[in-house]
Copies of this chain bind each other. A is one copy, B any other.
Amino acid sequence: MAKTPTLRIIPLGGLDGIGKNMTAFECGDDMVLVDAGLMFPDDDQPGIDLVLPDYTYVLENEEKLRGIVITHGHEDHTGALPYLLMDLTHKVPIFSSKLTLGMIEGKLAEHNIKSPKFREVTDGSSVNLGCFSLQFFSMTHSIPGALGIFLKTPAGTVLHTGDFKLDQTPIDGVRPNYNAINRFGKQGVDLMLSDSTNANFPGFTPSEATVGASLRHIIKNAPGRVFVASFSSHIHRLQQVCDAATAVGRKVVVTGRSMVTNTKIARELGYLKIADEDIVDAFEINDIPEDKIVVLCTGSQGEPLSALARMANGEHKSLSICEGDTVIISATPVPGNEKSVQGIINSLSKIGCEVYDKTNATVHVSGHARQEELKLMLAMVHPRNFMPVHGEAVHLRAHAKLAEGMGIPRDHIFILDNGDSLQMRGGKVSLGPSYDSGIIYVDGLRIGDTDPVVLRDRQKLSQDGIVTCVVTLRSRSHKVADVDVSSRGVSFASDDELLAGIEDTCRTAIDKNNQGSPSVDVLRKAVRNSLSNYLWSKTRTRPMIIPVVMEV
């Protein structure tokens, strides 16, 4: 007798914050992975370069993996892909829109991953992967080429919105495919996964087009050069900046590595439209009057090495921002970047620039749906079961509350943690087993677990610094021959009295413990404890202490 087919939905990331989105769909011997994103490290992960979802489960079931689907080209949906592909033993096909694949291609090339199995899909595409049948539909978001997915399986159907807003006047004219969404709703959606990022905000996110009016107004009236900093993947925004510039006869200069790369890809693929003669090189800018220039640059997050910061500090190779220039920060600070962004705004104010950001002009709108949009989506799809995804705890719960208000019974709404799973049989959804999940750190070349002790040590080092004491003992008498003290990051490094005190403390600690034949380990501990107490009493700080005791 054939087993009743079961679909497992396993979110490996994306439920503990905005980032590292990755969800596995597994049915019988087939698995489809939706998104493979990264997250940028937090303050309490010092020295970590990137944070990836732990995709061990995918590797362990590689023989089932029929394809990887990427909903759109943002790094929180694509950034783990190079690492995952390097860890997989076979080439797995990657499905996404033309722009998304174009952006991924560049990233893979940086990791020397050659000729990936790209499969371009678009609104209306259907793909069969094992027992899965996938249909793609257009969604609007802060990047072109965003797709939602309708998954049909022998166990039931799932609709995954991807990241989205419902923009009726999108810049590229590609609206959400309401027709398809309603059709899937009518066919019956057993489970919907929907973007929760803005679930706390009432109302409707304004159309991207509203930013254009504001950009046109500022650029038209600016007395001199205009610098616009934005996300380099926000092709709609870049298009609006280009349009506003060329409408008043200004040339566009592009600077900043990712801005140069992404505008190039987007122009080649036909997503960003600006005539060749309207784009000029930064080195040609001196021949152009100041009120005929718009500079499109990176640095909207206040990154100290970005084009905007370097131009503001006079460290850019060809451009510098001066008094009388206008600067538009056409972005919102990602949480954690508020102070850096405020820092660059202060620097620009001091220079004497006119600075516009979202606090004093409509130069940015979000790419994520607010409550009325989320409710509209729930109304059109009217899923039998609902799982809020892509958000922090507070967003997932707010989204769940909206769904409940839309009539979905509370026990058909599932708020999961990464690694939890749902299982579906005959369209019925219930909680499944939990799987190993977690995070993988990228720390230099090292990818994998980073011992929590390492991160704690780094935090401790950054607070109070470190003291190294090398004590040499005469081999027979066990008397102290020499004490060598080094330190880094301590505030008393040039305090001779204190340094002498450290030496004395080491000597005394050894002498006190030198009866019998103490092991080097005992002596080392004695040095560490005495020194720790001495420094606390004298400085009220607790540097890390590395005691080395050697017999000579």
Contact = CB atoms under 8 A, between A and B. Distances in A.
Given A465-B454, A466-B461, A492-B446, A548 B339 contact: no
Interface in A454-490: 454-455, 457-459, 461-466, 468, 470, 472, 482, 484, 486, 488-490
A86 to B, nearest CB: 15
Interface in A25-52: 42-43, 46-47
Nearest to A417: B350
Nearest to A484: B548
Contact of A489 (B397, B457, B491, B540): B457
A125 interface: no
Contacts of A488: 457, 461, 466, 544, 546
Contacts of A444: 464, 491, 539-541
Given A470-B550, A472-B550, A550-B470, A538 B461 contact: no
Nearest to A456: B489
Interface stretch (A64-72, A155-163, A340-348): A340-348
Interface in A316-347: 335-336, 338-339, 342, 345-347
Interface string A434-457: 000000010111100011001101
Contacts of A472: 550, 552
Closest 7 CB pairs of A and B: A462-B462, A444-B540, A461-B461, A552-B552, A444-B541, A346-B393, A458-B489
B349 A468 contact: no
A89 interface: no
A107 to B, nearest CB: 18
A359 B202 CA distance: 10
Interface residues of A, number: 64
Interface in A479-516: 482, 484, 486, 488-494
A355 interface: yes
Contacts of A345: 394
A392 interface: yes
A205 B143 CA distance: 37
A446 B491 contact: yes
Nearest to A550: B472
A529 interface: no
A544 B540 CA distance: 24
A200 interface: yes
A462 B458 contact: yes
Given A443-B541, A451-B494, A458-B463, 18 more contacts: A43-B43, A47-B463, A200-B359, A335-B339, A338-B338, A342-B394, A445-B538, A445-B540, A446-B492, A454-B491, A457-B465, A457-B489, A458-B489, A470-B470, A470-B548, A488-B546, A548-B548, A550-B552
Nearest to A492: B446
A345 to B, nearest CB: 5
Nearest to A481: B552
